[in-house]
Structure 1
Amino acid sequence: MTDPHHPHLQSLAAYAIRRGVAPADPLRQPLPEARTKAIAYQSIWNEPMPKGGRHTRHTTPAGTGIDLYIPDEAHGAAPVLFYFHGGGFALNSVETHRRLTRLLAQRSGWAVAAVSYDLAPEARFPRQLIQAQDAIDWLRERAALLGLDGGRWAVGGDSAGANLALAATIARRDKGRSAPALGLLFYGMFSADLDTPSHRTFGGGAFGLTTERVDWFWSQYVAQLAERTNPLAAPLYADLRGLPPQVLIAAGLDCLKDDSVRLADRLTAAGVENRLQVVEGVPHSFMQMSAVLEPADQAIDDAAAALRAVRSQPIAVAAE
């Protein structure tokens, strides 16, 4: 993040240097080292950690981990946002996204279930998607015991996690199962098409995430090249008809920006209600940096407002 024309990049890079950390580089570091460095780098953006609320950890019988945050502001049984963290399917964890998920809970009044899924390449598609569905089903079945509203729920995620959120929604529709009330999709990794204007403009390395790294992430997630167009691995290529409303937030300096732009266009063509917000002047993963970046704090506010609006709407009941 060194481009002098973008002050947000300069301030974020300077802050990381002062804290003595740098982004992970899995293309040039052994994967265990890259994962350790990713956790160290992401940890600086989690400070200060929001206070209050209740935090419990759960594990499904299938082994999927769920970190559940219930805000103090929850009135009655809280609806649930299932959140899937980013990291190209190969890096990060629920821990790297703790500030973001807690702020979403605090500001929306929704409980947030941050889902731990197995990382690639040790686990590949569709393992992560299966775990996403496992977390949704297990927690909703036990919602009343946990003081939650299992009938009102949403999915969300950033980058690879946005991919999982959307793919899980599509898979449930295809099986005739109940749908989330809303999708929150932050700078998603929705396709493996690397020949887009945003990749050509922002993918060289001056803006954080690179096209080369996105290509590497895809090679970890799917075992075969042909799977890069599987609509559940790359949901930009899916039939999008009949999906619930989607809120998309993209970063203006992100090589993945056009994934969100193209998805919004396809959602509109499919008759799906959606709203795309492109936050200019910020890089990929910017919403994790809300402690030092005002546009990130505002974007979290916007996402929380979308959740609050959904809470006031009637619940659509569908058979499981």
Structure 2
Amino acid sequence: MPDAFAVPVRELLDPQVLALNALAASAGWPPADPLALPLAEARAAAERHHAFLNGRAPVPVVVQDVEAAGPGGPLRLRLIRPPGEASAHLPVLIYFHGGGFALNSIYTHDRLLRLLARHGRVAVCAVAYSLAPERRFPFQHEEALSALRWVVRHGPSHGLDRERLAVGGDSAGANLALGLALASRGEPGPPVSFGLLFYGMFAHDFDTASHRLYGAGGFGLTTERMRWYWRQYLGEHTPAADAWAAPLLADLRGLPPLYLAVAGLDCLRDDSLRLARRLEEAKVPHRVALYEDLPHAFAGMTRFVRRAEVAVIQAASAVGGHLRGQPLALANG
């Protein structure tokens, strides 16, 4: 991994990422910064930025919105199916969007969700979970369990094969997905059989090499912003060492196979690499796909960055292949 202190940012990042950053800035749709704006304005800015990333010509899919019974009332789920398979009995990927628990939505991740459905040939169940600080840990984990239980109980009537079930997410959403995989070990019904984790936010820990290398702001996500996200999610008094809040600290034995898609130029890089080491110790099959020249949130850049699109297609193929009985070769620890 190159030393970010010695090499200019422009020589580390994929050139298409640099071009995208310049285009977004010139168009007036830069990434949202919740440290510089009131939260409501930051959320609106995030929606605008991702609308720019998604574009007006989405990947064709079939979309259906349903509701599950959540811990605080109805929980919205969006079912996304690949074209031509609207009525098929499909494997299902329960997916949680990123945004530090405080930003973003199922709308900001629309293009990514469509790509996962199409290239994985799965039904994606996207969860519109509650945002922090209005709702804090562990409320979002309770909503994740509600989504899983809805799929198990009601999924078959909506064309979902509950016997072929995966969980996935990016950043904060990867935290929820890993937490759900952990919690599902004690749930009745079919087990979660695969996990897809993009550049996850797995521990309340900023003393890592990747935070020191990439957390100052040259690559997008900053350490300061990560501290802010954790405060919104945990509040001031929730213990940061809680293994449900920080699943890197949990007992990982018995987890299903996991696919870790890792951004190399990301202050959260080491969250995923440390997780991989712990998975190896726990004898959990896994694969690490490290994209050394991509930053945090690359899965949302697929319309502009070819390498990001390839990474998402590879991840989708890993999920779909595993759920269809054609798994990738994985490290077994």
Does the alignment reach a TM-score above 0.5? Answer: yes
Residue 75 (structure 2) aligned to one of 51, 64, 72: 64
3-state SS of paired residue (1:231): coil
The number of aligned residues is 313
- Residue 108 of structure 1 is matched in structure 2 by 120
1:4 aligns with 2:16: no
Mapped partners of 1:33, 1:313: distance in 2: 45
Match of 2:163 in 1: 151
Check conservation: 1:45, 1:288, Cα contact below 8 A. Answer: yes
| CA-to-aligned-CA distance 1:71-123 (integer Å, 9 cap, x gap) | 12438301110000000000000000000000110111100011001100000
Match of 2:294, SS? coil
Whole-angstrom distance in 2 between the partners of 1:226 and 1:56: 36
Whole-Å separation in 2 of the counterparts to 1:218 and 1:95: 23
Q: Secondary structure at the match of 1:59?
A: strand
Percent identical among aligned pairs is 46
1:242 is aligned to 2:250: no
Q: Residues 241, 130 of structure 1: CA spacing in aligned structure 2 closer, same or farther, 3 A cutoff?
A: same
The TM-score, its normalising length taken from structure 2, stands at 0.90
Conserved 8 A contact 1:9-1:207:
no
CA distance in 2, matches of 1:157, 1:276: 15
Q: Residue 279 of structure 2 contacts residue 286 of structure 2 at CA under 8 Å; is this kept in 1?
A: yes
The amino acid that maps onto 1:69 is I
Letter in 1 for 2:306: E
User: Match of 2:286?
Assistant: 274
Deviation at 1:51, TM superposition (A): 4.0
Give structure 2 stretches of 5+ with no counterpart.
Answer: 1-7, 327-333
Residue 98 of structure 1 corresponds to which residue in structure 2?
Answer: 110
Q: Distance in 2 between matches of 1:133 and 1:303?
A: 23
Partner residue in 2 for 1:41: 49
**Hey, what's the Cα distance between the residues in 2 that align with 1:280 and 1:8?**
14
CA deviation after TM superposition for structure 1 residue 161, in Å: 0.1
CA distance in 2, matches of 1:197, 1:9: 23
1:59 aligned partner, one-letter code: E
- 1:19 equivalenced with 2:31 (yes/no): no
Q: Secondary structure at the match of 2:18?
A: helix
Which region of structure 1 is more displaced relative to structure 2, 257-266 or 64-73? 64-73
Q: 1:33-90 CA deviation, whole Å, 9 max, x = no partner?
A: 1111111111111124434331011111331110111112438301110000000000
Determine if contact 1:73/1:106 at 8 Å carries over to the other structure: no
2:202 is the alignment partner of 1:229: no
How far 1:226 sits from its partner (Å)? 5.1
Aligned Cα root-mean-square deviation (Å): 1.7
Q: How high is the TM-score relative to the length of structure 1?
A: 0.94
Does the CA-based 8 Å contact 1:48-1:291 persist in structure 2? no
Instruction: Check whether the contact 1:56–1:69 (CA below 8 A) recurs between aligned residues.
Output: yes
Aligned to 2:329: none
Could you list the runs of 5+ residues in structure 1 that have no partner in the other structure? Answer: 315-320
2:319 matched to 1:307? Answer: yes
Give the letter for the 1:24 counterpart.
A
Deviation at 1:179, TM superposition (A): 2.5
From 299, 307, 310, the counterpart of 1:298: 310
Match of 1:284 among 296, 301, 306: 296
Partner of 1:50: 58
Which residue in 1 is equivalent to 2:191?
Answer: 179
* Structure 2 equivalent of residue 317 of structure 1: none
User: For the Cα contact (< 8 Å) 1:82–1:114, is it kept in 2?
Assistant: yes
* Alpha-carbon distance in 1 for matches of 2:275, 2:209: 15
1:193 equivalent to 2:199? Answer: no
SS across alignment from 1:67: strand
Any conservation in 2 of the 1:19–1:44 contact (CA below 8 Å)? no
Cα 1:189/1:146, change in 2 over 3 Å: same
Shift of 1:175: 4.9
Q: Which amino acid aligns with 1:284?
A: H
Conservation of the 8 A alpha-carbon contact between 1:49 and 1:99: no
Alignment-mate amino acid for residue 42 of structure 2: A
Give the distance between the partners of 1:61 and 1:24, measured in 2 at CA: 31
After TM superposition, give the deviation of residue 178 of structure 1 in Å. Answer: 4.0
> Contact (CA 8 Å) 1:88, 1:214: kept in 2 or not?
yes
- C-alpha separation between the residues in 2 aligned to 1:274 and 1:49? 34
